[in-house]
C-alpha cells in the first residue's frame, strides 16, 4: 500500500470541518492521513474532536509571540517535526503571511463559504442575502497570499431560499463544505489534482451531483 500523506489541520474553533476530514481519512485506501491538529486557541472545541480520534494536537497561541513571523515559525517547526506534507485550514482565524503561504506553496488548502471569487472575506452569508443572489456554496482551493484566493479544486452549489436567514443558509453551506473539503483533500493527496498555470487540472475524477470539479483548461 502506498504510504499516505501526513496532513495537518489548523483550527481556531469548533472543528466541524476537522471532524469530516478525520472521518474521511479513516476510510480504507484514502491518500491522506490526518496526523496533527494545531490550534491557536487552547479553548478550541476541535482539540477534543482530534483527541477523541487519537490525533496528536498542539496549541500554539498567537498571543504568546511578539511577531507574526515568530508565530508562524513555531507552526512551521511543529509541522516539520511531525513530518507533515499537506496542511488544511479549517476555521483557522488568522491571516497567514506571504512567507508561510509560499513555504507551503501548493500544499496548503482552505475551504471558504462562497463560490469564489464571489464574496471573499467575512460575513459571507449576510452579504449573499443582501445581494439577493440565487445560488451560493463553498469553494475548496489552494491558498495564495491574497486572502480567499488561489487555484480552485472543487465547489459545491447551494440554492438560496426566499425564507433563508444567515443561520439557515450557513447550516446548508456548512453541510456542503463537509462533502467538498474531504474530496478536495483526497484529490490533492492522491495526485489526481495538480496545478498548471494557476489552475487545478484533474485526472479521471468523478464527483457527486452537487459538487463541481474545476475543469481542465481547453
Catalytic residues: 112
Q: What DSSP letter does each residue of 78-114 carry, written as one string?
A: HHHHTT--EEEESS--SPPPHHHHHHTTTSEEEEESS
Euclidean distance between CA atoms 87 and 80, whole angstroms: 11
Phi and psi at residue 176, in whole multiples of 5°?
A: -70, -40
- Distances 17 to 91, 170, 202 between C-alpha atoms, Å: 8, 13, 23
Half-sphere CA count of 98, side-chain side, radius 13 A: 2
Residues 196 and 204 sit within 8 Å (Cβ to Cβ):
no
> How deeply is 55 buried, as exposed, middle or buried, from its count of CB atoms within 10 A (0-12, 13-18, 19+)?
buried
Euclidean distance between CA atoms 107 and 89, whole angstroms: 11
Question: Would you call the peptide bond into 117 cis, given omega within 30 degrees of 0 as the criterion?
Answer: yes
Q: Which three cell numbers stand for residue 218?
A: 481547453
Amino acid at each position: 500500500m502506498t504510504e499516505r500523506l501526513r496532513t495537518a489541520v489548523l483550527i481556531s474553533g469548533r472543528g466541524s470541518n476537522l471532524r469530516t476530514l478525520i472521518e474521511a481519512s479513516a476510510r480504507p485506501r484514502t491518500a491522506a492521513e490526518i496526523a496533527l491538529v494545531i490550534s491557536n486557541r487552547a479553548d478550541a472545541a476541535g482539540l477534543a474532536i482530534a483527541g477523541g480520534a487519537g490525533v496528536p494536537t498542539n496549541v500554539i497561541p498567537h498571543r504568546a509571540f511578539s511577531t507574526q513571523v515568530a508565530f508562524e515559525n513555531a507552526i512551521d517547526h511543529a509541522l516539520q517535526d511531525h513530518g507533515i506534507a499537506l496542511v488544511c485550514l479549517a476555521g483557522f482565524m488568522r491571516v497567514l503571511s506571504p512567507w508561510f503561504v509560499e513555504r507551503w506553496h501548493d500544499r496548503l488548502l482552505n475551504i471558504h463559504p462562497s463560490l469564489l471569487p464571489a464574496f471573499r472575506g467575512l460575513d459571507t452569508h449576510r452579504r449573499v442575502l443582501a445581494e439577493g443572489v440565487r445560488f451560493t456554496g463553498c469553494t475548496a482551493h489552494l491558498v495564495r497570499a491574497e486572502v480567499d484566493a488561489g487555484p480552485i479544486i472543487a465547489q459545491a452549489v447551494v440554492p438560496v431560499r426566499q425564507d433563508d436567514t444567515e443561520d439557515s443558509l450557513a447550516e446548508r453551506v456548512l453541510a456542503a463544505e463537509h462533502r467538498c473539503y474531504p474530496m478536495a483533500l483526497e484529490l490533492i493527496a492522491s495526485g489526481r489534482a495538480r496545478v498548471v498555470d494557476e489552475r487545478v487540472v484533474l485526472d479521471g475524477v468523478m464527483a457527486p451531483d452537487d459538487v463541481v470539479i474545476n475543469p481542465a483548461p481547453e
